[in-house]
């Protein structure tokens, strides 16, 4: 496959007007120093400051800078997904727009993909310039994600990552799943995932766009991506198994209750009516739940077979992007 450029740099941004000129100049210097052909895709996630005007001004001076603008804020995952689909480079680099990720890391990340054959390389911010309220929860979620996914990365949420182009063209990043792109990549068959220690710089302009709620959302997203990745194409395996277990339990309990009643009648032993026994209602609930779970799995299986839809985000303006 022929690629238009060596490297595509995808940068989601939201209200980052101050940092964009310095970031783009820095990227250009790095690319020119190492002789890379490149493009910078700035994806404006519905900024309410002058970020888009700044993108337009930069693109007038530097034709390698391209822009995509959303009509409102859809989130980082939507911005990354849209940037990935528009990228034309052999290697795709994602990084944040706040200057905390260093473009000087790009050449080595490129080499690891192009020469060492990694599908994906994730940055690891060994020394973070973040408050303890962010670092401790981050360590916890990284630990949990390592255990669940089996991917031995220290920092799943680092914005600085490198990808072989085939990876970003074959994965979907939606909701808040940008935290778990390595997990999505692995479960899509891209298993050669590496890690590189990267410099994490102090924020120079503005304030962080993420609050404490991201840790709760991160945990819920991890559960979601685990379920979806394993059962998206075979939901009946999940719901059908639970439904079968529940129905079978209810059926055997019902047989036991009725069998005991018949035995007591035959042996002329005083006994309560079947409907007076708690086990009867437990069996009834298990039977109903079993049927409902099985039907849920059946409907989900039909939807999964028919659904090939992709997330669409309303783009209201573009610069240099088809």
Please check whether residue 125 is in contact with residue 198, taking contact to mean a CB–CB distance below 8 angstroms: yes
Please check whether residue 33 is in contact with residue 40, taking contact to mean a CB–CB distance below 8 angstroms: no
pLDDT exceeding 90 applies to what percent of the chain? 47
Q: Given this model, what pLDDT does residue 308 score?
A: 45
Task: Check whether residue 97 and residue 170 sit in a common domain.
Answer: yes
Can you tell me the mean pLDDT for 276-281? 84
Task: Check whether residue 246 and residue 143 sit in a common domain.
Answer: no
Q: Which of 18-22, 81-85, 177-181, 268-272 has the lowest mean pLDDT?
A: 268-272
Kindly state the DSSP code that residue 232 receives in the 8-state scheme: S
Structural domains of the chain, count: 2
Q: Given this model, what pLDDT does residue 263 score?
A: 85
User: Which is more confident, 20 or 184?
Assistant: 20
Q: What is the pTM of this model?
A: 0.74
Can you tell me the mean pLDDT for 140-164? 87
**pLDDT digits over 105-139, tens only?**
999 999 999 999 999 999 998 877 666 666 677 77
Residue 317: inside a domain, yes or no?
Answer: no
Res. 5: pLDDT tops 80? yes
End residue of a domain, out of 191, 208, 230: 230
Q: Given this model, what pLDDT does residue 271 score?
A: 73
Least Cα distance to 27 among 76, 64, 70 occurs for 64
**pLDDT digits over 55-76, tens only?**
999 999 999 999 999 999 998 9
Q: For residue 130, give the 3-state DSSP assignment.
A: coil
Residue 318: inside a domain, yes or no?
Answer: no
Task: Check whether residue 34 and residue 162 sit in a common domain.
Answer: yes
Q: Given this model, what pLDDT does residue 129 score?
A: 61
Q: Which domain holds residue 257?
A: 235-306
Task: Report the CATH number at residue 212.
Answer: 3.90.550.10
Strands 89-94 and 161-164: antiparallel
End residue of a domain, out of 205, 230, 255: 230
First-to-last C-alpha distance (Å) of the chain? 19
Residue 220: partners with Cβ closer than 8 Å, 6 or more residues away: none
**pLDDT digits over 232-263, tens only?**
667 777 888 888 999 999 999 989 888 888 88
Can you tell me the mean pLDDT for 139-145? 81
Task: Check whether residue 15 and residue 120 sit in a common domain.
Answer: yes
Q: Given this model, what pLDDT does residue 311 score?
A: 54
For the sheet containing 5-13, what is the strand order?
193-198, 120-125, 161-164, 89-94, 5-13, 38-44, 65-70, 315-319
Residue 322: inside a domain, yes or no?
Answer: no
């Amino acid at each position: 496959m022929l690629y238009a450029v060596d490297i595509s740099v995808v940068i989601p941004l939201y209200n980052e007007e101050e940092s964009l000129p310095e970031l783009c100049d820095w990227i250009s210097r790095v690319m020119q120093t190492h002789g890379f052909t490149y493009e910078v895709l700035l994806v404006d996630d519905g900024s309410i400051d002058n970020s888009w005007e700044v993108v337009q001004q930069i693109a007038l001076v530097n034709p390698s800078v391209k822009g995509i603008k959303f009509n409102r804020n859809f989130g980082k995952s939507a911005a990354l997904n849209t940037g990935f689909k528009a990228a034309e480079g052999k290697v795709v680099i994602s990084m944040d727009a706040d200057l905390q990720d260093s473009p000087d890391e790009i050449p080595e990340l490129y080499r690891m993909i192009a020469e060492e054959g990694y599908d994906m390389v994730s940055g690891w911010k060994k020394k973070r310039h973040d408050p303890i309220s962010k670092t401790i929860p981050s360590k916890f979620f990284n630990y949990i994600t390592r255990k669940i996914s089996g991917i031995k990365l220290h920092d799943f949420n680092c914005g600085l990552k490198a990808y072989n182009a085939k990876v970003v063209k074959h994965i979907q990043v939606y909701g808040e799943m940008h935290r778990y792109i390595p997990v999505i990549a692995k479960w899509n068959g891209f298993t050669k995932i590496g890690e590189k220690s990267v410099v994490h710089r102090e924020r120079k302009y503005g304030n962080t766009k993420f609050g404490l709620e991201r840790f709760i959302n991160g945990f819920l997203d991890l559960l979601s991506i685990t379920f979806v990745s394993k059962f998206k194409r075979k939901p009946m395996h999940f719901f059908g198994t639970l439904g079968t277990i529940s129905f079978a339990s209810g059926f055997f309990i019902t047989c036991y209750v009725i069998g005991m009643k018949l035995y007591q009648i035959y042996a002329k032993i005083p006994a309560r009516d079947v409907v007076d026994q708690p086990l009867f209602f437990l069996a009834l609930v298990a039977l109903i739940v079993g049927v409902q779970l099985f039907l849920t799995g059946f409907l989900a299986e039909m939807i999964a077979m028919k659904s090939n839809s992709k997330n669409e985000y309303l783009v209201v303006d573009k610069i240099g992007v088809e």
